[in-house]
Amino acid sequence: MLHFNFLKYLVCLAIFLIFSSNPKIALSDDTASDEIPTRYGLAAVLGNTYDPETDIRFIQLCGFIMWDYERVWHHWAPDPLRFKVEFTAGMTTSPKTRAIISVDMMALYYLDFF
């Protein structure tokens, strides 16, 4: 079990070092242009869940890409509308090893008054 804990922390440290070594990846770049920029995101998740009988441990890698809605679907859309694709891949590590895979896509509408 000690080997797995060390591996989890090593993966988190590697991801942190990759993103902190290139500030262009870590920070968003808001430019003053009419074109809405494409946004990207990536996260690593390690955790435990509670179940009355067992302690379930998991590790996941989650990411997303978000575009201007008009750029993807090529028809008129309101300015605050975006198109987003999310993905998650990972595994449970305890009590049994199982795969976790998910891909989602959605239209997001940003409300200015929030």
Overall number of domains in the chain: 1
The verdict on residue 21 lying in a domain is: no
Q: Does residue 16 lie within any of the structural domains?
A: no
Residue 36: give the domain boundaries: 32-109
Q: 37: which 2 tokens?
A: 């920029």
Please indicate, yes or no, if residue 19 is contained in any of the structural domains: no
How far apart are alpha carbons 57 and 91 in whole angstroms?
A: 9
pLDDT of residue 65: 93
How much of the chain exceeds pLDDT 90, in percent?
26
Domain CATH number, residue 77: 2.20.200
Strand partners, 109: 81
pLDDT at 112: 78
- Does 75 fall in a domain? yes
Looking at residue 33, what is its pLDDT?
58
Q: Find where tokens 């896509």 sit.
A: 105
Q: Is 74 left (phi over 0), alpha (psi -120 to 50) or beta?
A: left
Q: Evaluate whether 100 touches 90 at the Cβ level (below 8 Å).
A: yes
Question: Do 82 and 65 meet the contact criterion of CB atoms below 8 Å apart?
Answer: no
pTM, to two decimals = 0.63
- Cα separation, 101 vs 84, whole angstroms: 17
Tell me the pLDDT tens digit for each residue of 35-81: 788 899 989 888 887 777 667 888 899 999 999 999 888 889 898 89
